[in-house]
């Protein structure tokens, strides 16, 4: 069960935007080294939940804890330092920098939550970090493009670059907001393979995903969010068979 040895715990989270209940009474427990998918129709509150988890949004009430530490009230970089890395729905990469340089950014910013250009240049010359960056690019299949500008990458490759930017931090928990959105079937399958390998390395993953094929390939547990509430939870097959879930999708 996901409640056993939960490493990540969302407890009774509420979040409203000017009277709109984006999240109500949201509870979620994620077991260590498991993959938990969050699915639900557009506007259900999935991205809001992820933003609360990573400190981009403060909940109106409720708590988020990770590895025994309360994350609620912490700044995004503090949460990152606690071992939580995330990929947002819109890729956040440095378009004018090449792929290797993109990877050096998170490697440095992890140290104190900020970076200066001088420190960045000093880091650029450190061999071990360059090697780490190259390994991360190898892991995601982008090593041959290491000197290309990130802005020139395809959408699928940008997502892979973002994943590499997470992996170089060696996080304990990885949060992904629709990692295959807008990808071709081929790129989706490559991303599934990559995420399965990341999962098998022992990382705990929370993934927001529309594509049921991705959910079935990857997730141990699924929570279904609709109109800000968790309406169902269970294994992928349990959730797929739920009448409530089918109704939420059709009615959403």
Residue written as tokens 């804890």? 65
Binding mask 48-67 for ligand ADP (x = CB under 6 A): x-------------------
Q: Phi then psi for 4, rounded to 5 degrees?
A: -75, 130
What the block records as the tokens of 54 is: 């990573």
d(CA 238, CA 1): 13
Tell me which DSSP letter residue 71 carries.
Answer: -
What the block records as the tokens of 36 is: 């938990």
Q: How many CB atoms lie within 10 A of CB 30?
A: 24
Tell me which residue of 124, 73, 135 sits closest to 101, measured CA to CA: 124
- According to the binding rule CB under 6 A, does residue 16 interact with ligand ADP? no
Contact partner at residue 83 from Mg ion, ligand ADP, none, CB < 5 to 8 Å by partner kind? none
Complex with ligand ADP: residue 48 or 204, whichever CB lies closer:
48
Of residues 9-68, those binding Mg ion (CB under 5 A): 46-47
Complex with Mg ion: residue 5 or 90, whichever CB lies closer:
90
Q: Which span (42-50, 73-81, 137-145, 184-192) binds ligand ADP, by CB under 6 A?
A: 42-50
Q: Residue 127 Cβ, how far from ligand ADP at the closest point, in Å? A: 41
d(CA 31, CA 33): 6
Contact partner at residue 43 from ligand ADP, Mg ion, none, CB < 5 to 8 Å by partner kind? ligand ADP
Binding site for ligand ADP (CB under 6 A): 17, 20, 22, 40, 42-48
Which residues here bind Mg ion, judged by CB under 5 A? 46-47
């Amino acid at each position: 069960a996901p409640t056993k040895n939960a490493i990540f715990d969302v407890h009774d989270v509420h979040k409203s935007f000017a009277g709109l209940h984006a999240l109500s009474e949201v509870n979620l427990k994620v077991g260590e080294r498991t993959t938990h998918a969050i699915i639900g129709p557009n506007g259900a509150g999935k991205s809001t939940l992820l933003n609360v988890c990573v400190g981009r949004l403060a909940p109106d009430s409720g708590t988020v804890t990770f590895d025994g530490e309360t994350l609620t009230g912490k700044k995004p970089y503090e949460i990152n330092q606690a071992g939580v890395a995330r990929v947002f729905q819109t890729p956040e990469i440095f378009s004018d920098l090449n792929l290797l340089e993109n990877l050096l950014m998170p490697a440095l910013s992890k140290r104190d939550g900020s970076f200066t250009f001088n420190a960045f240049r000093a880091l650029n010359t450190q061999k071990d970090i360059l090697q780490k960056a190259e390994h991360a690019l190898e892991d995601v299949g982008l090593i041959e493009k290491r000197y290309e500008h990130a802005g020139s990458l395809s959408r699928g490759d940008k997502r892979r670059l973002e994943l590499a930017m997470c992996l170089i931090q060696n996080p304990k928990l990885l949060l992904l907001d629709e990692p295959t959105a807008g990808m071709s079937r081929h790129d989706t399958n490559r991303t599934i393979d990559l995420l399965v390998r990341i999962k098998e390395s022992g990382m705990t993953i929370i993934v927001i995903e529309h594509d049921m094929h991705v959910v079935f390939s990857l997730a141990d547990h699924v929570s279904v969010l609709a109109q800000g509430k968790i309406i169902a939870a269970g294994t992928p097959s349990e959730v797929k068979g739920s009448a409530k879930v089918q109704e939420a999708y059709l009615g959403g």
